[in-house]
Amino acid sequence: MDFGMKNRLSNIINPKTGKTVMLAVDHGYFQGPTTGLKDLRKTVTPLLPLTDCLFITRGMLRTSIDPRSATPICLRVSGGPSVLGELSNEDITTSIEEAIRLNASGVGMSIFVGSKNEDRTISNLGRLVNEAERYGIPVLAITAVGREMVRDARYLSLACRIAAEIGAHFVKTYYCEDFYKIAEGCPVPIVMAGGKKIPERDALQMTFNAIKEGASGVDMGRNIFQSDNPVGMVKAIRAIVHKGASVDEAFEIYSKNKLSSQVVTE
């Protein structure tokens, strides 16, 4: 691995802890104005200093993020279909040149293993890796789960391993029972996506389990920005990911932060 690649990866994954807390706010690229992200700037601005890396599309980066922010960017570079269409019908939408212009530390795209267009999304990943490596830019492969797929360790292990074999430098996948089996079969770092909003304590428990079972962090969206206390949730997640906090300790961080923000706003 050359200097540029290592340097950018260490912008994303903290070399001191070997972990990362990424904030995913790319949902609009196929879902439109997702709950919590209608005013993306308002939602994200207070979370940016607490985030190791922001996962976002170029359109929202250009329009809604202060370019003076020091938070590293991982750019979502795939898209195509909307939530109303065939989700696996994705292609690369954003060039490496654009990623460099936007000073991205990494680029990310989805693969749809087992879905209608799995082969095209996997070969697109290969092409993206070829191009990104020319400039020392790490590639995040996201194992998108088609409506017809089951989110279990067997399926997600298959998808993560394929992503790594094709050359992804890190992989994002969902949590499931026996998550450790996914981590065991995947030679590159795995970050956990949060999935649909669940109660805060459950999201913290899921984070704790994923880290214990081999994840290198999270790239979480809805369980942070749809929380009643997004700042408290990021702080709590950071405590688990970077400091090895227990679920009780993390939940206390979330709850205390909620109380103090209520005191300030009331």
> Which residues would be at the binding site for ligand R5P (CB under 6 A)?
24, 26-27, 55, 142, 193-195, 219-223
Q: Kindly state the smallest distance separating residue 14's Cβ from ligand R5P, in Å.
A: 19
Q: How far is the CB of 221 from ligand R5P (least distance, A)?
A: 3
> What span, in angstroms and rounded, lies between the C-alpha atoms of 237 and 248?
12
The encoded tokens of residue 190 equal: 């795995």
The minimum distance between CB 207 and ligand R5P, in angstroms, equals 11
Question: Minimum distance from CB of 2 to ligand R5P (Å)?
Answer: 27
44: tokens are: 């994200």
CA distance 119 to 109: 14
In the complex with ligand R5P, which residue's Cβ is closer, 167 or 195? 195
Closer residue to ligand R5P, CB minimum distance, 222 or 242: 222
Comparing CB distances to ligand R5P, the nearer of 26 and 90 is 26
Token pair listed for 122:
């996997």
Least separation, in Å, of the C-beta of 120 and ligand R5P? 18
120 vs 256 by CB, closer to ligand R5P: 120
Mark whether 181 is an active-site residue.
no
Q: Among residues 16, 38, 172, 196, which one is catalytic?
A: 172
Q: Which residue's CB is nearer to ligand R5P, number 194 or number 230? A: 194
Active centre residues (catalytic): 172
